[in-house]
Amino acid sequence: MRLDRRAFLRAAGAATGAAAVGGIPDIVAAQKAPSFPKGTKLNILEWVSFVPASDVEFKRLAAEFGKLSGVDVTVDLINMNDLNPRIASAIETKSGPDIIMMISNWPHLYADGLADVDDLAEEIASRDGAYYEHNKKVSVVNNRWKAVPLCSVPATWAYREDWFKEAGASKFPDTWDEWRKVGIALKKKNQPMGQAFGHSLGDPNNWAYSVTWGFGGSEIDQSGKVVINSKETIEAVKFTVAVWKDCLDEGGLAWDDSSNNRAYLASTISATINGASIYFVAKRQFPDIAKVTGHAHMPKGPGGRFYSIGGQGRAVMKYSKNQQVAKEFLRWFMDRPQYDKWMAANDGYVVGPTPYWEKHALWEKDPKLAPFKESVKYGRWPGYPGPPTRKASEALVKYILVDMYAQAIKGMKAEDAVKWAESELKKAYA
């Protein structure tokens, strides 16, 4: 579908009322006069993506929307770390961007400052299929959609296929037990795997949550009761302590989120959990490493296979005077022609929020990225199996699960580390 400005303006005519109902195709069909008042502005706040082409394409699409609709669209990109303070100040002062990116369960943190977008979110789901569970869980607060799911940025295992073969594994191990056996062989050859256990935003939590769930443990149950102190969690902690010595690079306690990227690309580790960024950089700068790099799923434990994926969404701010335009932009962006281009620009770094995007051509182009596409089926949210509430956020920012593992690695008994986590979680979930 191709729209010039005139057609779009005719189309956008129903924007204040009817337009919200049927999306751009219906707007086009409506063929009514534009009703965005002249001088209407739309400000969007996003993170600076780890894939620069993604930002370029997003800005291009935003400008295209501006051109078609006659709306003055501006996009501000800031570091992910700076989004929280900006959102807090925008909500408290009731001024700022009209649309803000939400990462993981932020819609639950900021629900009171976000406009409902039920109609839009459900319209997209009815067209493209139901959202993945984690995308839905983090976006729906008290049965109201507070953000339109945008994507997931999963982290799978990136590993050296050549080294794994040499260590006797023709493919990446499917269970944690098998994983440990290969890991021991690799570390003996001075090719350990690598995992961060510090306080960086992503990597340490990827292990802490996925492995806890994989062994059958969890922070809370569905009713919100703290149940971390279980034999399953203790097993997960014991396993982590054992593989810390047997399989992993013992620098991990001092790692941040970029340390494993550097270590992998410097060939000092054989595998690590990461987004597709390692592979992208390898393709550009270290083609020999890219050739022998594969991606694989998180191994299965007694409790199953899990990924910690919060997903991302976009929220329309409650204070915004341009909510209708903001929703119109989101409707237009999430429509297939636009989203297709943005997803292509991300080259496999993001996975769409609905199964429809599993059919995107980029997955055929590079089969090495397939595990990213599939990982979202195993995605769980902070606080799983309970809801991803603000209490789950408190547990997350206090790094309770990460520190439970880190303290055990530093010598605390597994049972004591789990007890410590239990007492901290009880306060966070009080």
Partner 1 sequence: MADQTIEPILAKSAASGAPAIAAPVVVAVPKSRRPRGLGHLLEQEHILAGALLAPTLVILTLFIAYPFVLGIWLAVSDKVVGRPGNFVGLQNFWVNLNDTIFLRAFQNTFVYTFIATALKLALGMGAALLLNQHFRFKRIVRAGMLLPWIVPTVLSTLAWQWMFDATFSVFNWMLLNVGLISQRILWLGDGTMAMGCLILVNVWRGMPFFAITLLAGLQTVNPDLHEAAEIDGANAWQRYWRVTLPLIKPIMLVVVLFSMIATFADFQLIYVLTRGGPYSSTHVFGTYAYEIAMRAAKLGQGASISLFLFPFLLMVIVFQLWYIRRSD
Angle, CA of 220, 225 and 226, to the nearest 5°: 55
Q: Buried b vs exposed e over 126-142: b needs ≥16 C-beta within 10 Å?
A: eebeebbbbbbbbbbbe
Report, in Å, the least distance between residue 268 CB and partner 1.
6
Report, in Å, the least distance between residue 111 CB and partner 1.
7
- Judged by beta carbon, residue 146 or residue 297, the one nearer partner 1 is 146
- Judged by beta carbon, residue 59 or residue 86, the one nearer partner 1 is 86
Report, in Å, the least distance between residue 117 CB and partner 1.
16
Asked if 129 and 353 count as a contact pair (C-beta separation under 8 A), the reply is no
- Judged by beta carbon, residue 351 or residue 412, the one nearer partner 1 is 412
- Judged by beta carbon, residue 161 or residue 394, the one nearer partner 1 is 394
- Judged by beta carbon, residue 109 or residue 351, the one nearer partner 1 is 109
Q: Which two tokens stand for residue 107?
A: 């819609």
Report, in Å, the least distance between residue 132 CB and partner 1.
24
Report, in Å, the least distance between residue 365 CB and partner 1.
32
* φ and ψ of 396, to 5 deg: -70, -50
CA-to-CA distance for 410 and 427, rounded, in angstroms?
24
Asked if 382 and 396 count as a contact pair (C-beta separation under 8 A), the reply is yes
Residue 39 DSSP symbol: T
* φ and ψ of 148, to 5 deg: -95, 115
- Judged by beta carbon, residue 122 or residue 250, the one nearer partner 1 is 250
- Judged by beta carbon, residue 128 or residue 422, the one nearer partner 1 is 422
The radius of gyration of the chain's CA atoms, rounded to the nearest angstrom, is: 23
Helices (H), 70-168: 80-93, 106-109, 118-128, 133-139, 161-166
CA-to-CA distance for 181 and 173, rounded, in angstroms?
9
- Judged by beta carbon, residue 152 or residue 195, the one nearer partner 1 is 195
Report, in Å, the least distance between residue 135 CB and partner 1.
21
Beta strands in 291-330 (DSSP E): 293-296, 307-308, 312-316
Report, in Å, the least distance between residue 226 CB and partner 1.
16
Report, in Å, the least distance between residue 406 CB and partner 1.
4
Q: Buried b vs exposed e over 392-408: b needs ≥16 C-beta within 10 Å?
A: bbbbbeebbbbbbbbbb
List beta partners, residue 22. none
Q: Which residues bind partner 1 (CB under 8 A)?
A: 84-85, 87-88, 91-92, 109-113, 197-200, 204, 249-256, 259, 262-263, 266, 268, 390, 393-394, 396-399, 402-403, 406-407, 410, 420, 423-424, 427
CB-side neighbour CA atoms (13 Å) of 46: 18
List beta partners, residue 199. none
